[in-house]
Amino acid sequence: MKIETDWHIHSRNSCDSASMPVSEIVKIVPSKGISKFGITDHLNTRINMPDIEASRKEFLENKVSGFHFGIEISCVSIWEIEQIKKGGYEKAVNGIREGGPAWADMTVDITQEDIEKLGIEYVIGGTHWPLYVPWERESLIKDYHRQNMFLAQHPLVKIVAHPWWFYAKYWGKYVDRFEPWFNDFSVIPQSMHEEFADAVVRNRKIVEINLHAIILHPSYPEHFKQQYLDYLSFLKGKGVIFSIGSDCHQSYDLDFEKAARMISYAGITEKDIWELSDEDLKNRP
Ligand SMILES: [Zn+2]
Ligand SMILES: [Zn+2]
């Protein structure tokens, strides 16, 4: 197994302190043996739209063969989109993280028209934060599963980003480093994995294997990573197809060989790995 694609790269336009100019991305990524790849900056809510416009501009100025234009959107609450519409939240680049109703109805703040206008070739959707539920294990698990399910069924989303990623900066602030599921991934009920796999396959979505933010994450416990590879293996058994995403925000110096070994260990081969095809482009929403 060799990693030759990367569909999740952030440029300096991303709201979350990513730093690579697109001109650098198109040089360094192919130099690591990656022949097909795309940039996917964050759109949490419409507040980030100028970032995506800046990325599109840089993309067009640096177009090379095998290079594509995607986006990473977040599952957010309808409540926060309504709040943002009222104005006064211009600095909330990560949306509104406090004050909403627990178990809020979900949405993504992008439309079909935005996708066409910006020339977006594929959409990655991610669960990035709890939607106002209590900060304890059971609620966080239910909430993340609910969001992953929402993304797996959303017509504008092609790839479900990093299932069960959890922002390490939340550790210590709200939860222990080993919560909500890092000391034992099996605290997540298997029925949730079954339900998610079924939704992914039924809706012809792709599940991302995230390198930097999950399998090579510097702070995630090794035991968790091991269990996560078993989870990927389970998804493969259900017929899930995967995309590779480095989720690179700064310098592009990941250990691709180690990641490839881990993916192989999960029994995943080149045949299970998705790449953007002409058919995907033709059938895009
Ligand atoms: Zn993400
Ligand atoms: Zn990302």
Sole residue written with tokens 């599952």: 75
Q: Is the dihedral of CA 134, 140, 144, 149 positive or negative?
A: negative
**Which domains does the chain show, CATH number per domain?**
73-274 (3.20.20.140)
The residue type found at 84 is: I
pTM above 0.95, yes or no: yes
Longest dimension (CA), the chain: 50
Q: Roughly how many angstroms between the first and final C-alpha of the chain, as a whole number?
A: 31
CA of 128 to the centre of ligand 2 (A): 9
DSSP conformation letters of 60-86? HHT--TTEEEEEEEE-EEHHHHHHHHH
CA of 64 to the centre of ligand 1 (A): 25
Whole-number pLDDT of residue 18: 83
Give the pLDDT means over successive 10-residue stretches in the chain (285 positions): 97 91 97 98 97 98 97 98 95 94 97 97 97 95 98 98 95 87 97 98 98 96 97 98 96 96 98 95 84
Whole-number pLDDT of residue 174: 81
Of 195, 229, 179, 185, nearest to 209 by C-alpha is 229
Counting ligands in written order, which one lies closest to the CA of residue 129? 1
CA of 129 to the centre of ligand 1 (A): 10
Whole-number pLDDT of residue 268: 98
Whole-number pLDDT of residue 40: 98
CA of 51 to the centre of ligand 2 (A): 14
CA of 110 to the centre of ligand 2 (A): 17
Whole-number pLDDT of residue 181: 96
